[in-house]
């Protein structure tokens, strides 16, 4: 199984009120958070998965737990706290890209401390880390300790998924990402993330720097321009996006991430040695599978990640 580590929250999407009154704002709330989405996405793709996260004992927290149970995500790694559930207010741009504003200070997903870290047995073949849980305290230092502890023992995947609203100091992000990338075997990063982290620097230069550590593969997602893979052994190449009727891009990156892990697991290559031994043709198949999966999510409103039977190959 795979263990995804990070936040679970509710996304609140604003909707126009039919009355047109400025005093009324309607919202549609959808369970989310990048790690939460990756966990759900993995299960929908047929992979056994658990979520390590702080979860509130409040109404929304229990709804999150129920969603995970309904989806088949293991909830025995969740830690419950008498603290609120993080809320993310989401507005969609003209191209369907989301803009987030988080209400998360003191919330349950941030409360994980070192004493809450689980002892992992052999059934956990890999761990995924991502998003703002990497930089907000105390959960950030707890997850860093877990990543360091397990690096080299199990497959480690990472998606920085930079969100400046929970932590607006980009230098905090830079310093933490610089440390995290030293311990990951597989990294997914968006061109938007790189622009925020290293404005003015060529993505190729940054990513080749990350490959100097233990990382074998980096996938750079570029929205409608497709994605590029950087392999330590096989160089870099790109694949185009799959054309779709765009609804929005919410959850597309999380789908891409889940699809990468799912492909490796299906091929029984979800290990440090498995990733190190991938042939160029295998990496290309993995890249194209993730692009197809992300395209399906873009064709639907909100983070509605695809099921395995919806993908061919």
Q: How far is CA 130 from the centre of its chain?
A: 5
* Whole-model pTM over 0.85: yes
Task: Judge whether 208 and 178 are in contact, CB under 8 Å.
Answer: no
Q: What is the mean pLDDT of the chain?
A: 93
**Angle, CA of 295, 32 and 108, to the nearest 5°:** 155
Give the number of other Cβ atoms within 10 Å of residue 198's Cβ. Answer: 16
Model confidence pLDDT, tens digit, residues 253-295 = 999 999 999 999 999 999 999 999 999 999 999 999 999 999 9
**Tens digit of pLDDT for each residue in 96-136?**
677 778 899 999 999 999 999 999 999 999 999 999 999 99
Which structure tokens are listed for 216?
């074998």
Cα separation of 5 and 165, whole Å? Answer: 20
CATH superfamily of 2-9+30-308: Ribokinase (3.40.1190.20)
User: E strands of 109-242, at which residues?
Assistant: 126-130, 155-159, 186-190, 217-221, 227-231, 235-239
Q: Give the domain ranges of the chain.
A: 2-9+30-308
């Amino acid at each position: 199984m795979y263990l995804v580590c990070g936040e679970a929250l509710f996304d609140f999407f604003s909707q126009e009120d039919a009355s047109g009154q400025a005093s009324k704002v309607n919202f549609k709330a959808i369970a989310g958070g990048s790690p939460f989405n990756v966990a759900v996405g993995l299960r929908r793709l047929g992979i056994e998965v658990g979520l390590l996260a702080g979860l509130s004992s409040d109404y929304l927290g229990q709804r999150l737990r129920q969603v995970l149970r309904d989806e088949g995500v293991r909830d025995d790694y969740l830690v419950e706290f008498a603290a609120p559930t993080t809320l993310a207010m989401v507005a969609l741009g003209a191209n369907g890209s989301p803009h987030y504003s988080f209400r998360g200070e003191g919330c349950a997903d941030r409360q994980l401390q070192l004493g809450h870290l689980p002892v992992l047995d052999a059934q956990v073949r890999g761990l995924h880390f991502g998003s703002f849980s990497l930089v907000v305290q105390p959960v950030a230092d707890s997850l860093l300790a877990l990543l360091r502890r397990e690096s080299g023992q199990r497959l480690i995947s990472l998606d920085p998924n930079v969100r400046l609203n929970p932590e607006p100091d980009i230098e905090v992000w830079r310093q933490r990402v610089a440390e995290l990338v030293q311990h990951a075997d597989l990294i997914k990063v968006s061109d938007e993330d790189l622009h925020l982290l290293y404005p003015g620097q060529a993505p190729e230069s940054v990513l080749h720097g990350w490959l100097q550590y233990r990382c074998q593969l980096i996938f750079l997602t570029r929205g409608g321009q497709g994605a590029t893979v950087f392999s330590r052994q096989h160089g870099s190449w790109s694949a185009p996006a799959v054309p779709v009727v765009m609804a929005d891009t919410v959850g597309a990156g999380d789908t891409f991430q889940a699809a990468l892990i799912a492909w490796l697991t299906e091929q029984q290559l979800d290990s440090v040695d498995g990733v190190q031994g991938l042939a160029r043709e295998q990496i290309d198949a993995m890249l194209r599978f993730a692009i197809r999966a992300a395209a399906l999510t873009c064709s639907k409103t909100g983070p509605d990640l695809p099921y395995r039977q919806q993908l061919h190959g």
